[in-house]
Structure formats: C-alpha cells, structure tokens
Structure 1
Amino acid sequence: MDSVEQPLVHVDRRGIAVDEAVAFYEGVYSSQDIHIGDAASEGFSWRYRAVGDDHVTVGTSSVAARRWGTIDPGDDYVLAWASAPGILLDTGSSDPVEMLPGVPVMYPAGRDFTFRAAPTVQHVIRFDRTFLQSVAAARQGDLPAPLQFARHPDPAALRQLRAVVSASAAALFDPTTGRDRRSALDTTVAEAVVGTFDARPVPPTGLLSAGPATMRLAQEWMVANARRPITITDVSVAAGVAVRSLQASFRRHTGASPMHFLRQVRLHRVRAELSAADPDTATVAQIAVGWGVGHLGRFSGAYAATFGEPPSATLRRRRSV
C-alpha cells in the first residue's frame, strides 16, 4: 500500500507587514536584495505556500505590491508561471524573460539574476538539481550533468506540459499524498519539463559531472553496456576500483548505489522504447529483457513506482496515438 508521510517541505506563511515579507522572501530566494514598493489599492498583504519532498517542491506566491531585486536559485532548477502579466526575469541581461500569463518559463539556472514584478500570483515548481539531471540523463542516454534549457519551447509542447502540471498539481500540493504517489508524480512532471524545454547538458569545461573520475567512468560504462547482464563486480573492474570504494563514492556523491543508477537508466530506456513500439508486435517482456532486465516482476513494480503506471499501459497508449 502507498505509505503516507509528511513531505520534507510544508510551508504556509502570510502577513500584512512589508518588512516581514522582505525578510521572508530574502530567505526563500537566498538574497539580500529584495525590495517591495507601493501596495495595491486594497492594502498590502502577502502569502507563500509550498509543499514537496527532496526531489520536487510546488509553491505559490502572492504579493499585493510591486517588487524587484535579485534571486539566487541555488542548487535548484525552477519552473514558474504567473496569473497575470507584469513579471520580467533577468532584467540585467541583454535578453530578459517576460512571463506571459499562464505560460511556464525556466528561471536562469546556476547564477543570480535580477527581476521586477507587478502585484500578481506566481506559481513555481522547484526541482532538485541532481534529480532533474538524472531524469534528463536517463531519457537521453547520457550521464547526469548541468542542464541548459530552450528559451522558446514549442507551443504544442508547452500545452502538453500545462496539462501534465494541471493533472498533477492537486496531489503534489496535498501534504497527505503518499510517498510513492508523490515520487511517481515528481518523475512525470520532471520528464515533461525535460522534454518541453529540450533540457540538454551544458557543454563541459572540465569533468562532465561532480564526483571523482572513477565514478564518472563507472557511469559511462554502465550507460554504454546497459543491455548486458551487469554485476557490481563488473562495474568495479571497468572503473578500476574496489567494490566498496565504488559504492562509497556513489553514495557520497549521488546518495544511491551504482546498481540503482543502472536500474534508473534501464527503466527510462525501456519507457522510451515502449512509448515508440507497436503494441501489436512488441511485448513488455521482449523490450525489458532486451535492456538487461532479469526479473520481470520486480521490474514491473519499480516501473509503476517510478512512472505511476504499469509498463503495459505505456505500450497500450501507443495504439491510441
């Protein structure tokens, strides 16, 4: 049964004092440069709500006054959209981002940026950096690395993203949503964001991912050999380190084991192939075994927990497209 746990983040703050709002939002945005100007005609008020786990946090912010300043997204990737016009991001650059009502945009990633905003409601989805990079890497057959996003995504893809967010929002905003259900929705929304904004690795200037070179070598080897039967000993030999050292490195830098990384690669590869396969000629077992899956029962359970549906549903959906 889906277990119910309080998420790691559950915030609901509101007030009517400008100084209190400035202090709060400077904490939210890791900034010492948030300013709030003239209040709306009905008087000043603010409210901030957020619910999430260690992968995805959804939030909504309402400030009844003009504001401007600097935002530091920190280690997160942030998707945002507004209920009304009047928000401009990256105002200090030569190519600022205008937030149109109801149209999602990605915050500039990996750096501070300036903004200005009219009184309105803003909705945000914050993705843990490592989580979104892992989703993008698994879908694209690459390795986790810092991401860059398309500035002007396809309108049809944006509509699909909005549909995914709309279908997921109520459960993600509900603090009582079970851990397994929330995890599946995290992945669904992350996949939609990666696809819509064509998330791709930033061209490397050194090592392609954080962590020691041996861990990177192990990841590369697993990606290249994901169709083969692989043991942890195989990976350690390929990386040239002892099994214990390899496992410790992965847990220190990714929070998971090498074999967990391999399972995630396989899950996403199978999902991509199922989505493109002809259900009249292909089977889940055929595709899964082709990606090195040795136990179909455990695979099906992990697939459903990750994507919120059994693999057979992904394959059947191809027929209706």
Structure 2
Amino acid sequence: MPSDSPRAEHLDRRGLDIDEAVSFYERVYASHDIHISGATRGEFAWRYRTVGDEHVSVNTSAVGARRWGTINPGRQYILAWATRPGILLDTDSSSPLEMVPGVPVMYPAHREFTFDATPNTQHLVRFDGDFLEAVAAAHRDGVPGPLVFRRHPDPEALRTLQRVISAAGPELLHVDTARSTRIRRNLALAEAVAAAFDASPRKRVVPPAGTARFRSAQEWIVANAHLPISVTDVSRASGLSVRGLQDAFQREVGITPMRFLRETRLHRVRAELLSADAAETTVAEVARAWGFSHLGRFAAYYEQVFAELPSATLRRPLAPR
C-alpha cells in the first residue's frame, strides 16, 4: 500500500557455501532454478549488500563462481552494471544482451528471463514499479503504466546517468542518510534512468503537454494520487486558478484534472491487482486504498479503461515474482 514515509533498510549477507548462496539468490530474484558451479571447496565466496527504502535500493552482488538460471523482476525495474565481462542476459531470446563492464543496462521487465554469468561483481539499483512509473509519467506528461526501455541508451544521456549514479551512490549506500536527502537522490536517479533509456508506458494515455504550470499540476497529481485530493488542492499546488487549471487540462489533453486523477488511480489499482494473490487480496480493499469509495462506479470506470472487470484482473494466474 502507499506510504508517505520511506525508511532506509540495510542487509549484508555473505558466505562460503554454494548451497546457501543458491538458496539466498533464489529468494532475491524470485527464482526457482539458479545454479552455481565451477568452484572448488575452499575457493568459493559470495556477498550481497543492499541499502534502500521502499522506492529505491542500491545493491552490490559478488559471486565467485559461474552461475546461471532465471530471474523474475516482478514489479521492480532493475538497473545494473558489471565490473568485468562475462554476464549475458536473456540468453534464451534471439538477441541476448551482453553486459559491458561499467555500462548500465536495464534488466528485461515484466517477465522472467534467463542469464549466464562468470565470476563477477554486479552493482544494481532496484526501483519500485509504481515509483519509477510515476516519475516516467511525469517526465512524459502521461499516466503511469508498465514501462518499456530502449535497449541501447542515448550516449549523452547515459553519461548523465553515470554522473548521477556517482553523485548519489555514496549517500544512498549510507543507511543513516537523511530521509529528505534520500528522497531527492531517489528522484534524481529515477529521472536520469527514465531519460537515458527513454522509459515510456507501453500504451501512451495522454499526448505531450504544454505549459510548465500544467506539467507541474500533472506531476503533483501523479505524486499524490494515493491521497484524498480535490481540484482546489491541485490548483493551489500548481499556482493556477481552478478555472485556469480546468482550461489547461481541456486544452492540452482533453480531459478534466479529476479525470486525470481517476485514470492515474485506475492504473495504480491495476498494477496492484496484477501482482496480488487473489487468496489474500480483494478488489474492494485495493480500490478503497486508492480513493474509490463507490465500488460499483469504480468497476464501471475500470472496465471502460481496461476492457475487463477488476475481479478478472485479480483472478489472472500469478506470474512468478
């Protein structure tokens, strides 16, 4: 559920046992078939360290032997770079992705994929799906939704991303970094990733927008969609009068600010339903958490946008997470 108070957490695991490493990495990558081999007794070591909050975590993974298997990113987006050659992603596809040392790549998203890696150290940045989708939506003036990325980023934007990583890394890796600083660094990193890899929703809901204040209103709605907000709240946050706000939305995207809010919330509900277990979650509790108090109207809105009832989304077979 949404939270207004990201809290930094720290995990540092290491060991010398291959079976222990396999068990740990299968949990980390929501996998069921990670394999490690090629190390003799007394020569193998592994370590995994992560520091982060509910929006972004920074991870370092070092494994002293060859490993292969599957990874399930689930509702996360993962940026990664390796220190040495020898890591291949999406090995079962027609065009596997080879990780070049020091060059960030985005892991395949929304699906399980295979990998093969020689002894290596990887640095990873894990983004919560809702968080990165909201940032990308604001970047493109759209409604949040599942993202697609350019496989090979723009070189200049990639250099910008690397500079942001270098600047943000020391603070994000420190568990005692102030919350306000961590939030700023999280946002800067997410914006740089969205720009470098041209992150865009699979389906554009809103066309490109115009004025700075209109964009500010969109960004504010996306960031605060989990709160009970009114058109007056948006007006105050954006610096536009209520009439000016209504006119700007009609002119730029052809809908009202409150409909934009509703569609943003619908996409967030869908994201949660797709990743939820029907045995443990109800449509009603997810809908209410995102501000839909009238469940009948909510279901009608949902079916109009997604061409299926929310209950059908929740009953879909769970993808591995």
Q: TM-score range by the shorter chain?
A: 0.5 to 0.7
* 1:72 alignment partner in structure 2: 72
Shift of 1:31: 0.6
What is the SS of the residue equivalent to 2:38? Answer: strand
* 1:88 alignment partner in structure 2: 88
* 1:63 alignment partner in structure 2: 63
Q: Distance in 2 between matches of 1:156 and 1:40?
A: 43
Q: Distance in 2 between matches of 1:67 and 1:230?
A: 58
* 2:139 alignment partner in structure 1: 139
Q: Distance in 2 between matches of 1:130 and 1:51?
A: 19
1:43 aligned onto 2:43: yes
What is the SS of the residue equivalent to 1:39? Answer: coil
2:171 alignment partner AA: A
2:10 alignment partner AA: H
Shift of 1:252: 4.6
Unaligned runs of 5+ in 2: 206-224, 247-254, 271-284, 293-321
* Residue among 224, 229, 246 paired with 2:241: 229
Shift of 1:41: 9.9
Q: Percent identity?
A: 49
How large is the RMSD of aligned CA atoms in angstroms? 3.8
Equivalences for 1:255-274 in 2 at 5 Å?
A: none
> 1:142-162: per-residue Cα shift (whole Å, max 9, x none)?
111111000111122111111
2:123 alignment partner AA: H
Shift of 1:122: 0.3
CA contact (8 A) 1:7 1:51 kept: no
CA contact (8 A) 2:8 2:175 kept: no
Q: Aligned in 2, Cα 1:255/1:50: closer, same or farther, shift over 3 Å?
A: farther
CA contact (8 A) 1:40 1:65 kept: no
Q: Distance in 1 between matches of 2:115 and 2:202?
A: 24
1:69 alignment partner AA: G
Q: TM-score, normalised by structure 2?
A: 0.65
Shift of 1:7: 3.5
> 1:12-32: per-residue Cα shift (whole Å, max 9, x none)?
000000000000000000011
1:126 aligned onto 2:138: no
Q: TM-score, normalised by structure 1?
A: 0.65
Unaligned runs of 5+ in 1: 206-214, 259-321
2:150 alignment partner AA: A
Q: Distance in 2 between matches of 1:106 and 1:253?
A: 31
2:241 alignment partner AA: P
Equivalences for 1:1-321 in 2 at 5 Å?
A: 7-39=7-39, 43-203=43-203, 228-230=240-242, 238-239=258-259, 252=286
Q: Distance in 2 between matches of 1:152 and 1:70?
A: 22
Q: Aligned in 2, Cα 1:176/1:227: closer, same or farther, shift over 3 Å?
A: closer
Shift of 1:203: 2.8
Q: Aligned in 2, Cα 1:82/1:237: closer, same or farther, shift over 3 Å?
A: closer
Q: Aligned in 2, Cα 1:23/1:155: closer, same or farther, shift over 3 Å?
A: same
1:134 alignment partner AA: A
Shift of 1:39: 1.8
Q: Aligned in 2, Cα 1:237/1:112: closer, same or farther, shift over 3 Å?
A: closer
Q: Aligned in 2, Cα 1:150/1:37: closer, same or farther, shift over 3 Å?
A: same
2:50 alignment partner AA: A
Q: Distance in 2 between matches of 1:202 and 1:164?
A: 26
CA contact (8 A) 1:37 1:66 kept: yes
CA contact (8 A) 1:87 1:118 kept: yes
CA contact (8 A) 1:75 1:128 kept: yes
* 1:298 alignment partner in structure 2: none
Q: State the number of aligned residues.
A: 235
CA contact (8 A) 1:79 1:126 kept: yes
Q: Distance in 1 between matches of 2:122 and 2:70?
A: 16
> 1:223-255: per-residue Cα shift (whole Å, max 9, x none)?
x99774349xx899955x99xx99xx8995697
2:23 alignment partner AA: A
